[in-house]
Structure 1
Amino acid sequence: MSVADNEYPKASNATLIGSSLTYIAGLFLLFAFAGPYWLESYPEMFSEFKHMGLWEYCFNRFRFPSYQFDKLFHGCHYIFSEEYYVIREWLLPGWLMIVQAFVTLALMLSLLAQIVLACVVVRWPLRTVLRYEWICVSFAFICVALSSSFLFLAVAIFGGNAYRRDWLLYPSFNVLSWSYAFAVIAFMIFGVAAVLLYFEAQKLYELRREAKNLVAQMQHSQPSNTLHQLHHQLQQQRAAGYI
């Protein structure tokens, strides 16, 4: 086989499926990260709180009871904007900052895994990917598995604290919304992708080890006929990129 003639081994079906699931989960995660609908109020309740995301809160003429001045908070604003400066400590408790950190880490790791998997799928750079494919897939597996774990912790912490009475007023008027659901979907898809990438990494490692054993056998073989046969197999392994 000749690499110049594009006869090099393509990415396996498991790698393709795992990569596709990683990209799909990444889209769900991106929408959950940027979406302002992790929690929203029931429309029929006419609550002053409307909805919120990890980075944005929306109110309708909300008056914070502990603030000594008569100020109404209205509209949607970035959580670190000047508008929410006086109530930021209330809007952003410690557990919510932990959720923000976990989701941010999951997004960064998923983007890194997508870049590595894209290189593996398109075979670029060719010789590097063919020689170190099992390392690339293993690295992508670690990133995807960590993304799934971080997202699980994020949705568990947020779901367990979203109805605290020391946070938003009248928590019974609120409900978890679609941005939160997207985060849940993302962590489940990441989990499936991680399983596929794990088994694929194991398979690639075994192929790599067999290729090295083939080299050792060739070096210790004496009969010329056996030597020629092993040399032919070695050329096939090299063309496949496993050694």
Structure 2
Amino acid sequence: MTAANNEYPKASNATLIGASITYVAGLFLLLSFAGPYWIESYPEMFSSFKHMGLWEYCFDRFRFPSYQFDKLFHGCHYIFSQEFYVIREWLLPGWLMAVQSFVTLALMLSFTSQVLLACVIVRWPLRTVLRYEWIFVTSAFIMVAVSSVFLFLAVAIFGGNCYRRDWLLYPSFNVLSWSYAFAVVAFILFGIAAILLYLESRKLYELRAEAKNLVAQMQHSQPEHALHQLRDQLQQQRQLGYM
């Protein structure tokens, strides 16, 4: 087996398909993570709230009722910006911080799994991947599966709380938007990829166990083979001595 002649075993089709689905799901997750359209207001309602994402809110001359000063919040701003300092507690309830945490962790895990799968596909570093491929694929499977679970929790929590009346005013004017839909698509794709990677990791583990058994059998058979060779050599020497 030489790397120069590409005679080493390639990655299986299941790994390639699982990795491809993981990359597509990662793209949807990235767009959802950065997109400011988890929920938006109907255009015909002319609401002062326009749309929001995990890290950004957009208002059109919005006046917060509980704020004692006559201040209008206008434009799109980062949720931790100075502009939203006085209403940040209202904009960022505990359940939304949980959604942010789940999506962020899912993004980090999916990116790490993509790096591992890329190493398996391109066979780099070659010796390490060929020796520990089942560990690479198993680790990627665990990360992808956990990412899918985290995203499921994120979309479930957000979908169950986004119409609360103690959060955005006039929730009946709002509708879930494409950033939220991308998160749903990402968690479904991660689930499919996790199934494929799980099946492949089991297959690689079984092949590894068979290889270990074969090596053990060869090691046990070597002393007997060496003993037979020694006896044959002694017999040949005796025959030569008699002649």
What TM-score results when the alignment is normalised by the length of structure 1? 0.91
2:62 is matched by which residue type in structure 1?
F
1:64 is matched by which residue type in structure 2?
F
Q: Deviations over 1:56-103 (max 9, x none)?
A: 000000000000000000000000000000000000000000000000
Q: Distance in 2 between matches of 1:82 and 1:3?
A: 56
Superposed, which structure 2 residues align to 1:180-219 within 5 Å? 180-219=180-219
1:59 corresponds to which residue? 59
1:87 corresponds to which residue? 87
2:132 corresponds to which residue? 132
Q: How far apart are residue 221 of structure 1 and its match? A: 2.6
Q: Distance in 2 between matches of 1:196 and 1:207?
A: 17
1:99 is matched by which residue type in structure 2?
V
SS of the aligned residue for 1:76 comes to strand
CA RMSD in angstroms, aligned pairs only: 1.2
Q: Distance in 2 between matches of 1:139 and 1:90?
A: 39
2:116 corresponds to which residue? 116
Aligned residues: 225
Whether 1:21 aligns to 2:7 is no
- Structure 1: any 5+ residue segments left out of the alignment? 228-243
Q: Distance in 2 between matches of 1:180 and 1:87?
A: 23
Q: How far apart are residue 4 of structure 1 and its match? A: 3.4
Superposed, which structure 2 residues align to 1:41-80 within 5 Å? 41-80=41-80
Q: How far apart are residue 2 of structure 1 and its match? A: 3.2
Q: Distance in 1 between matches of 2:15 and 2:214?
A: 25
2:164 is matched by which residue type in structure 1?
R
Q: How far apart are residue 220 of structure 1 and its match? A: 2.3
Q: How far apart are residue 217 of structure 1 and its match? A: 1.1
Q: Structure 1: which 4+ aligned runs deviate by more than 3 Å?
A: 1-4
Q: Deviations over 1:161-212 (max 9, x none)?
A: 0000000000000000000000000000000000000000000001111111
- Structure 2: any 5+ residue segments left out of the alignment? 229-243
What TM-score results when the alignment is normalised by the length of structure 2? 0.91
Give the fraction of aligned pairs with identical amino acids, expressed as a percent: 82
Q: Distance in 1 between matches of 2:48 and 2:220?
A: 80
SS of the aligned residue for 2:62 comes to strand
2:66 is matched by which residue type in structure 1?
S
1:124 is matched by which residue type in structure 2?
W
